[in-house]
Amino acid sequence: MTATDPLVSTEWLAANLGKPDIKVVDATSKLPGMLPLPKDDYLAAHIPGAVFFDVDAVSDHSNPLPHMFPHPEQFGRDVGALGIGNDDTVVVYDSGGWTAGPRAWWMFLSFGKDVRILNGGLKKWVAEGRKVESGQVTPAPSTFKAKFDARRVRSMQQLVANLSSRAEQVIDARSNERYQGKVAEPRPGLRSGHIPGSLSLPFNNLFNAATGEMKPLEELRAAFVGAGVNLDAPIVTSCGSGISAAVLTLALYRLGVENPALYDGSWTEWGAADGPPVATGPV
């Protein structure tokens, strides 16, 4: 079983905001080409004291795939530059559509730091009339020592091997239309469809669009079971580029699933023209 539920409420954050050991992180991300840029949204309005965690910057720049996990040394250096140390209590949020808050959470967890996620994100915070500020926050640097836990991430080679072994269930967080191959991928040059044998559970089925809050545990459990997932067997999550898959990973973690791994390259890697086999149609 997993430990403490990572989610915290807006009420909790409001009561603890400003304490020296509470570090707030805006991790909002968007698909390529969407404007305004996430950093510009952050500069326009963010929770007071929040720093900006750029998932594209905190990544392996030697890899042509988008925002792949960096080496531990880089993660520690980049996070330390945000003023975050190993002993701080970190609260991550995004714009409210679960756009990279869970990805940042999973990265922190994979590098040895248990952090929290603001349920509902900035959307709920603003809807409640809570204070925001604009401009850049430049904290004093801190020291963060990262240690990577490889169990939490899967490579394409591991997923290819899984095609025959089926040792792990693969769950696709993209829309069902993308999963079935009915629509073109938003990133040009990618094939349409899904990893053979994978299951479909669009990530937006796991939260309330009106409030931005993740659904109750019993509804999360029903969503996975309804998608054909065996919660007692090993699970890997996947999506377009390793961002929304973490929403599924977070929900599984909250349900007590042990180490639900994430396929970092996801469809951006698998769906390449020279990639592994692709399936289309429904589950």
Query: Per DSSP, which regions of the chain are E strands?
Result: 7-8, 22-26, 51-52, 89-93, 116-118, 153-154, 169-172, 199-200, 235-238, 261-263
Residue type for position 193: G
Residue type for position 91: V
Q: Which residues are catalytic?
A: 239
Residue type for position 47: I
- Angle between helix 245-254 and 217-226 (nearest 10): 120
Q: In b/e form, how buried is each residue of 53-65, taking b as 16+ CB within 10 angstroms?
A: bbbeebbeeeeeb
CB proximity list for 218: less than 8 A, separation 6 or greater: none
Rounded distance between C-alpha atoms, residue 59 and residue 29, angstroms: 13
**Sheet of strand 261-263: strand arrangement:** 153-154, 261-263, 235-238, 169-172, 199-200
Pick the closest to residue 24 from 43, 48, 40 (CA basis).
48
Tokens representing residue 127 in the block: 């809807």
Residue type for position 266: S
